Each structure stands twice: as structure tokens, then as C-alpha cells.
Structure 1
Amino acid sequence: MYISQTLRRAVQLNGNGTATVFAGRRQTWREFENRIARLANGLLDLDVGASDRIAILALNSDRYLEYFYAVPWAGAAVNPVNIRLSPPEIAYTLNDSGSKVLFVDDAFAALLPSLQSQIESIKHVVFIGEGKCPEGCIDYESLVANSERISDANAGGNDLAGLFYTGGTTGRSKGVMLSHNNLVFNALNVVAEMGYDCDTVYMHAGPMFHLADMASTFAVTLAAGTHGIVPRFDVDEVLAFIEQEKVTNTLLVPTMVNLLASSGRIANYDVSSMKRMLYGASPMPESVLMSAMEQMPTASFAQGYGQTEASPIITSLGPEFHIAGGEKLRSAGRAALGVEVLVLDENDEELPNGTVGEICARGANVMLGYWGMESATAETLRNGWLHTGDLGYMDEDGFVFIVDRAKDMVISGGENIFSVEVEGAIYSHPAVQECAVIGIPHEHWGEAVHAIVVLREGSRASDSEIIEHCREKIAGYKVPRTVDFREEPLPVSGAGKVLKNELRAPFWEEKNKRVN
């Protein structure tokens, strides 16, 4: 399988059809493909070679989508950077991946001065924004205009297609290596699940760096549909775009669905073109889902469960199971096409239906491994199965129900936040003796980061001081929203590990499961 084959198919099937719509710009699939072939040549002129990593730090745009295709056309691999990271975290991602070229837009060009002293491998910065090209950067449109078409490098199969960084349980982010086979297989799966075709108008409203949105990036192209793109999620901008462009499909994380449903503004726009709304990346509160379904009656809702390591779809829950009060609505759905899912015990033996264990998967969607982390790869892919770290059970009909997470991960607003990383920031405060970070229920974000702190004897610190200290160390979305102080030591197991289940229990007493 080849990423570029999805583009060639779109040109064959719908060459004069609309490929992208963004900020008043429109182009056909034939025009899009021509720009890809020229931009790829421009990358080669920047000394980009086979499997070199090309990073991007930008808001959504039509040029972001061109990046996703020009890089593999040139035989290289993408590295989409999380736009919510702090400068030190961005620098780590770029350095660890050894990225050679960085694409950046207006929103992030201001970070370049602070990044330049920290990044080691970046040789060229390409400006893809709308404003004036910053000094020292290469203008994107000039790079395209001054380059001739080249033939596709035909990178494919198990060649590295991209590095996608996810949070690390030891404070080190892991670069998930996904191949062409991984991403195109996932695209085939999503086309089947979502019913994409040439008449599809998909709206990119979630961040394009995120695999949740990217689940449809290559799928919509494969189906020769249209990519409608908004820079970032905004309630009125999204609703206006749906009305103006007659959007038929989109993916939103539950936080976004909640913002739409609670805004009271859906009725102000014509959203009757919506056929299918996919949601995922974190659990969806049933009350929010029901409200959204009521306000958008033409849209069928579907859920996708997965993770970056699975490119990302593992299970799906179709519209036929989205019934108020339905038992299956509480599930994460059933194994996606071509994906095998089992619930295994600690010895990797399959558990009986209804028994809680670790959710594991295998299929052509499962990653090549973690970049430069052989032991972590072996542990996650042991015995041929992707171990998700999520705990759940399967019923007699094959529906997977998630009940907790084996790893101490907090999912807030669709973003994975690992407690060890946050704890590392807190522990660097001189007044802190002990700390533990947990996820607690939050009405809008699903979960919120909560810190429990024991101060050193004779030391003082306020909750606001701890929060501001963290803000200097880690990305804003990872910073604790609340802090509790305790005088007694944190509870530990016989092995000396903090018993986070005990710390979480009071906050989740009214919940029937440990994810919100």
C-alpha cells in the first residue's frame, strides 16, 4: 500500500472535483496533485532524502494537507508536532526525530527565536502562513512555484510514513512509527465504516496533527471526496462552515461536541447537510451525545476507539447502536474491519466474556514500533499483540466496554496526559516532598488533572504557586487544574508504589466506571 496511491485514485475518479476548501481558496484534485509533485521536488532541493523526517508545527490549512502528500511523494516521512506543546517539548520532538525540515505558519513563527537555540537537526524552516515570510525562512509558495514536477518516489509498504509522538510514561514522549501499510489500511477501514465517496465533504475541525482527525485524512482522499478545512475549532466558525460548504461528515472529540451542544447556537445555522458525525479520542458523556443527536437530527453518530499505535482505529460503534439508554451505547463498539481484538490477562491468555483484562489488538494497522525505543516496543507488542494499556471486558456479542486504564493516563479534552510527566514538574518545586497526579471528573473536559501534594517539613506553597510552577515546565493543557495538600504521607503498596486507586476513589464514587 502507498499513501500516494490514494491521491492518484482521487485524480482518476474525480480529477475536476473539489479537493480542498480553505479560507476562500479552492482547488481540484488535478490541481492538488500538481502542487504535490512540485512541492516534493522542492523538498529534494532542500537535500531531503529517503525516510528523512519532515516536521510541521501549524494550525489546520490546505497547505497542511499538501504537506501530508508531498512528503511521502518525495520518499520522506512526516512528523506532525502537537501544537499544544511547550517550546522545550517541541524541541525534544524535533531533536529526537532528527527532523531535517520544519514547516511553520503564522501562529507559530513567533516561537522560532526561542526554538533555534534548542533544536539540533533542523536545516531549513519553510513558512506556510499567510503573512510575510519571516527572515531566514523559505517561502512555501515560492518553493512550489520555482519547482518542476517530479515522479512519485513510490515509497510504500512497510516504509516509514511518519512519526507521531505520544506521551511517555517515564516523562519521555514516544515516537510511534507508522508505515504506509498502517495508514492506508486504516483509510480503507474508515471508508467502509463512514461510507465516504466522491460526494463527501469532510470538515477538518479537530487538529490535523492528531490521529483522531487523521483517521479520515487519507480516507477522504481515497474516496475522492472534498477536504473542507477550518484553522481551529470555534463554535460559530464550524457551524457557519457546515452551512456554507454543505459539510456531510466530520470528526469531533467529545469536548467539541459538548461545546456545540451546549452553545444554544446550532439552531441559528442550517446543518441539515450533515450525514455522519464521528467522535472519539476520549469517552463521550451520554447526556452530551443525546443533546447533540437531538439538535442535529440529520446526522448519524458513530464512535471510534483506538490509539496512535493502531493508526488509530481499533473498534467502532455504528449509528444503529446510538439509542438512548441502549446497553451497547456504553461500549466502545466492536472490532473494526481487519482488526482482531481480545481481552487478555497478565499472561496474555484470553479471558472469558465479562471478565476485565487488558484490551489488546492486532492487524495491519498496528505500528512498526517506537522510534529508538526497542524495549518499550517489545513490551507493547509482546506476543504479536498491541497492548493498549486500557482495561475492559468484552460481552457475548463482541462489544468492548472500557472500565479503567492500566496506565495512569488522564484524558482531558481528547489529549493524553501522563501523570509521571506532570509529577516530574511538581517534584522540581523545592517545597514538594511527595506528589501524585490523577484524573478527576470534569463536566466539560471529561477529566481534569488533579495533583495531591505533601510539602517538605517547614516549607510552604500555595495551590496557585504549584500550578504556575508547572506552567513553566510543561504544556498548558498538562498543568494541574486543582491541587490538594496533605500532611500525612501518600498511601503506598508493599512494593512502595503510590496507591493511586485509593486517591482516585473519592472523586469517582458517583460514577459507574473510572473514565468520564
Structure 2
Amino acid sequence: MSLTLGLHRALQQTPDAVMTVYGRRTRTVREVAARVARLAGALRDLGVGAGDRVAMLSLNSDRYHEYLLAVPWAGAVLNPVNIRWSIREIAHSLADSDSRVVLVDDAFAPLVPGLRERYPQLRTVIHCGDAATPADALSYEDLLDSTDPVEDARRSGGELAGLFYTGGTTGFPKGVMLSHTNLVTSALGAAGTGFMYRPGARLLHAAPMFHLADLSGWIAVTLLGGTHIIVPAFDPVAVLSAIERHRVTEVLLVPVMIQALIDHPDLDRHDLSSVRAVLYGASPIARPALERAMAALPNAGFTQAYGMTELAPIATLLGPDDHRLPGLLSSAGRAAPHAEVRVVGPDGDPVPTGTVGEVVVRGDAVMLGYWNQPAETRAALRHGWMHTGDGGYLDENGYLFIADRIKDMIVSGGENVYSVEVENVIAAHPAVAACAVIGVPDETWGERVHAVIVRRQGADVTADEIRAHTKALIAGYKAPRTVDFAESLPVSGAGKVLKRELRKRYA
């Protein structure tokens, strides 16, 4: 298994088919293959050897697509950088991974002087934007024009394919080591369900391409000979326009993106009938938002994916048929074809059906380990199982229900409160656009349930009304004792709410 396999297959079978669409640029499979082979040659000429890490700090683009293929083609290792990080965090990840070559686009070229100051070992910067190349960088297009193509190194199987740094929701990011087998197994497992990523798919890249959720779709569609429609970053108008103009068939969105689309006043003015599959995940979604999205895209089958970077990234899937059963809308689905899922207690033994424990996963998609962190690796990988740190339970039919991150569970007055349950109830209030529930220190209760809420535009609601609404639906001790209203919630590059940042405010 190899990340470059799909390009070789497409070059043999459909060389003149369009492979990428980015703005006004379209490139065929044959054109992409030629550019990838030249970029790989340029990387080798710049001193990139087998197993060396090559970083990418960029918004989505067709050149990002080429980077994902050229780095393994050169025999090197991918290091896609989280675009929401500070200079300090980016420099740390480059130093931690020993990435000496970095590709940057126009949006991030201004960060290069600061990165060089914090990470003097940065040897080469390749500018992959469309504006003028900065003085301290090499031109991406000039490198391609002046370099001969090289043969694919055919890096594959258990060899390291990439370092993918975790989103940092619970601490400083760790480099997750994923092999070619890890990544391809997860992508093919998802495609094998038939829920999405079918042959001929036209996948819209609106989620960030540095993230595993988008990358998994990229791998599947590349292997199946599909077309990649790429927008630089999520924007409701850009997404709606791209779907209509390019007849997009598959789209991956995180819940905050879904909310932004269904709330946009121009939603009904665009023809979205081409969309046949919507994959969502990365964080829980409020049931009202999901139901509105399903109504807005009636031709699309909705699939929820649950997983994590360490699982490359998919563990379970809730398919389109499951979405038609109201009792399952709060489920994360059942184990994907490539994964085995259990819920275990502190001793590592499976707990009874319906009992909350820790979700663990086994299979060929499970990471190799954490880069340069053997102790962290041993703690996460035990007896062949990846311990996710998520609390959940399985029902009698194998459907997984996520209760909470174990670290996010609130213990108030001796009672366990799962923040996800409270968030789902609060989100059902018509005046709520988004919310996050955390535990904050309390002299009486140890921790108290606290909600941070973003009101829907033009709506008004008070803390007392939120508490009354919550108490009408779940036990009183689970209702937020305190409520704050905010303009927005802090989110990671993958769209996950950063509860760590919220906790800092109330520590």
C-alpha cells in the first residue's frame, strides 16, 4: 500500500481526466504526474533523503495536492502543519520533527522570518503561492521548470508516511507516526462501506488539507480515480458556489461548517442537487443542525465518522440508513470494516453492554506511535489496542455512543456529568447557535457545570431560560449552574472546540 498508488493507477487508466480544480486552474492526471515527478526531483536536489520530513504550511490548493504525492515520491515523510498554530507552536513542531524543508504559500510567507529566528535549522523554504516569491525563498514553479523528473521511490507498507501533529485540545501537540498502510487502510475501509468516495467522485476540499479527516478523503478519491475540487479555506459562499459550479458529489464538513452553511441566507439560491454524500465528524453536532442540513441536501446520504489522528483517522461510521432512525442520530455508528472497537474498564477488560467505559480500537490503521515519545506511546498502545481517552458505551447492536472525553467528564457533587449530553440538550434551544460545556472549580460542589453559549443571530435568551430548558430534558444536577454568552468559541484547525482554552478563562 502506498500514497502514490492512486496516481500510478490513474495515469495508466485515465491520463487525460481532470484530477484537480483550483480556481481557474485545472490539471489532468498526466499533468499532475509530471509535476509531482519534477517536484520530487527538486526535493532530492535540495538534499531531502529517504525518511526526511518535509513540512507544508499552506491553505488548501492544487499545489498542496502535489505536495502530498511528491514527498512520498521522493522517498520522504509528510509533515502537514496546522495553519491555526502560533509561530511558537509551528517552530516547535518543525524542530521536534527535524523538518529542514518547508513549503509556504502567500498567506504564511510573512511568518518565515519569525520561524527562522525560532528554528535556525530551517534550511530551505519553497514558496508555493501565486504572488511574488520572497527573497529568502525558492520559487515552486521555477523549481519544477528547472528540474528533471525522477522515478517514484515506491515508499509503502509499514514505512513511515507522515507525521501528523494532534490538535492540542488537551495539551501540546504530539507527532503521530502513520505508515502508508495505516493511511490507506483507513481510507479504503471508509470507501468499502459504499457510503461515500465512490468511483468518479468529485470531492470538495473545504476542510483544511493538513487535517487527517480531509486527507483520508483525498486518499480514497485519489485511489478511486476521482476529481479534487479545492477551495483555499472554508467560506459558505465559496463552498455553495463550488458545489453548484463543479457538480460536487462528495463533501466533508465539520459541524461548525454545517451550521454556517444552513444558516447562510443564500443557501436556497444554489443548486446543491449533485451532492450525494456528506461526511461529517471531528466534534459532536447538535441534532437540530443535523436535521436542518439533511433537509437542505435531500439527495445526499449523511455519514458520521468517529475517530482520531492516531487511527488514521476512522474508527466507526454512522451510515445514511442509520440517519433515518431517530434513536441512532446521537450514535457515532458501528466499527468501520477495517477496525475492531471495544469499550473497556480501568482493568482493560470489556464492560457490559450499555456501560460507560473507555473506547479502545485495534486494527491496521492504528498508528505506529508518537514521534520521539516512547512513554506516551506505551501509555496509548496497550496489548495491541489504541486507548482513545474517550468515554462511551456500546448498545446490543454494536452502535457506539460517545459520552465524553474522559478528561472532559465533570464530577459535580459526586455525580458524573458528561458534557456532550448537556451540550446536545442546550443546542436544541432555538436561540442557541453553538455551545460548550465545561467543569469549573466550585467550593461547594468540587466542580460545577458551566455553559458557554453563542446565540443565534437576532435571537435572545437568558441564563435562567437555558437552565429551565435543560432541566426540562435531563436531570437537574446536569443543568449548568452558570452560563456565559460569547460571540464565538475557540476552535482548532479541525473545527474542534478547544475546551482547554475555555478552562483557562475560569481556572
TM-score range, shorter chain: 0.7 to 0.9
Distance 2:252 2:170 in 1: 31
Residue 161 of structure 1 is matched in structure 2 by: 161
Distance 1:305 1:375 in 2: 26
Residue 80 of structure 1 is matched in structure 2 by: 80
**Displacement after TM superposition at 1:171 (Å):** 3.7
Quick check: 1:32 aligned with 2:17? no
**Displacement after TM superposition at 1:328 (Å):** 1.4
Residue 295 of structure 1 is matched in structure 2 by: 296
Q: Is the 8 A contact 2:204 2:230 kept in 1?
A: yes
**Displacement after TM superposition at 1:18 (Å):** 0.8
Q: Is the 8 A contact 1:55 1:103 kept in 2?
A: yes
In structure 2, relative to structure 1, the CA distance for the partners of 1:10 and 1:97 (3 Å cut) is same
Quick check: 1:503 aligned with 2:433? no
Matches within 5 A, 1:386-405: 386-405=386-405
Residue 431 of structure 1 is matched in structure 2 by: none
* Aligned-partner residue type, residue 147 of structure 1: T
Q: Is the 8 A contact 1:391 1:402 kept in 2?
A: yes
CA shift digits 1:332-353 (9 cap, x unpaired) = 0000012000001111101111
**Displacement after TM superposition at 1:448 (Å):** 4.2
Q: Is the 8 A contact 2:436 2:451 kept in 1?
A: no
Q: Is the 8 A contact 1:187 1:222 kept in 2?
A: no
Distance 1:57 1:385 in 2: 32
CA shift digits 1:368-414 (9 cap, x unpaired) = 0000110110010011100010000000100000111112499xxxx
**Displacement after TM superposition at 1:321 (Å):** 0.9
Distance 1:124 1:92 in 2: 17
Matches within 5 A, 1:170-185: 171-185=171-185
Distance 2:253 2:105 in 1: 23
Q: How many residues align?
A: 445
Q: Is the 8 A contact 1:74 1:152 kept in 2?
A: yes
Residue 236 of structure 1 is matched in structure 2 by: 237
**Displacement after TM superposition at 1:33 (Å):** 1.0
Distance 1:409 1:103 in 2: 40
Distance 2:333 2:4 in 1: 31
Distance 1:446 1:11 in 2: 45
Greater CA drift, 167-176 or 63-72 = 167-176
In structure 2, relative to structure 1, the CA distance for the partners of 1:449 and 1:79 (3 Å cut) is farther
Residue 416 of structure 2 is matched in structure 1 by: none
Residue 119 of structure 1 is matched in structure 2 by: 119
In structure 2, relative to structure 1, the CA distance for the partners of 1:190 and 1:14 (3 Å cut) is farther
Distance 1:348 1:505 in 2: 32
Q: Is the 8 A contact 1:59 1:105 kept in 2?
A: yes
Residue 304 of structure 1 is matched in structure 2 by: 305
What SS class does the counterpart of residue 39 from structure 1 fall into? helix
* Aligned-partner residue type, residue 176 of structure 2: V
Distance 1:198 1:450 in 2: 43
**Displacement after TM superposition at 1:198 (Å):** 3.9
Residue 192 of structure 1 is matched in structure 2 by: 192
Distance 1:385 1:198 in 2: 32
**Displacement after TM superposition at 1:255 (Å):** 0.4
In structure 2, relative to structure 1, the CA distance for the partners of 1:370 and 1:242 (3 Å cut) is same
Matches within 5 A, 1:95-494: 95-167=95-167, 171-193=171-193, 194-323=195-324, 326-408=326-408, 441=423, 446-448=434-436
Distance 1:125 1:289 in 2: 42
* Aligned-partner residue type, residue 262 of structure 1: D
CA shift digits 1:53-77 (9 cap, x unpaired) = 1011110000001000000000101
CA shift digits 1:253-282 (9 cap, x unpaired) = 010001111113221111111100110101
CA shift digits 1:229-255 (9 cap, x unpaired) = 000111111101001000000100010
Q: Is the 8 A contact 2:311 2:365 kept in 1?
A: yes
CA shift digits 1:180-236 (9 cap, x unpaired) = 110111121122234434421000000111111112011100000000000011111
Distance 2:162 2:205 in 1: 20
Matches within 5 A, 1:5-20: 5-20=5-20
* Aligned-partner residue type, residue 271 of structure 1: L
Distance 1:396 1:385 in 2: 22
How high is the sequence identity, in percent, across the aligned residues?
47
Distance 1:151 1:37 in 2: 7
Quick check: 1:46 aligned with 2:34? no
Distance 2:217 2:143 in 1: 27
* Aligned-partner residue type, residue 215 of structure 1: S
Q: Which runs of 5+ in 2 are unaligned?
A: 411-418, 453-465, 480-495, 498-507
Residue 59 of structure 1 is matched in structure 2 by: 59
CA shift digits 1:419-438 (9 cap, x unpaired) = xxxxxxxxxxxxxxxxxxx9
**Displacement after TM superposition at 1:143 (Å):** 1.0
What SS class does the counterpart of residue 504 from structure 1 fall into? strand
Distance 1:108 1:187 in 2: 29
In structure 2, relative to structure 1, the CA distance for the partners of 1:452 and 1:338 (3 Å cut) is closer
RMSD: 2.5
When normalised by structure 2's length, the TM-score is 0.83
* Aligned-partner residue type, residue 249 of structure 2: T
What SS class does the counterpart of residue 383 from structure 2 fall into? helix
Q: Is the 8 A contact 1:279 1:302 kept in 2?
A: yes
Residue 458 of structure 2 is matched in structure 1 by: none
Q: Is the 8 A contact 2:439 2:448 kept in 1?
A: no
In structure 2, relative to structure 1, the CA distance for the partners of 1:235 and 1:409 (3 Å cut) is farther
In structure 2, relative to structure 1, the CA distance for the partners of 1:306 and 1:446 (3 Å cut) is farther
Greater CA drift, 401-410 or 69-78 = 401-410
* Aligned-partner residue type, residue 200 of structure 1: A
In structure 2, relative to structure 1, the CA distance for the partners of 1:170 and 1:334 (3 Å cut) is closer
**Displacement after TM superposition at 1:450 (Å):** 6.7
CA shift digits 1:29-85 (9 cap, x unpaired) = 111111111100000011001111101111000000100000000010111111111
Distance 1:450 1:406 in 2: 12
In structure 2, relative to structure 1, the CA distance for the partners of 1:211 and 1:395 (3 Å cut) is same
Q: Is the 8 A contact 2:102 2:126 kept in 1?
A: yes
Q: Which runs of 5+ in 1 are unaligned?
A: 411-437, 454-487, 492-498
What SS class does the counterpart of residue 203 from structure 1 fall into? strand
What SS class does the counterpart of residue 256 from structure 2 fall into? helix
* Aligned-partner residue type, residue 249 of structure 1: E
* Aligned-partner residue type, residue 372 of structure 1: N
**Displacement after TM superposition at 1:358 (Å):** 0.4
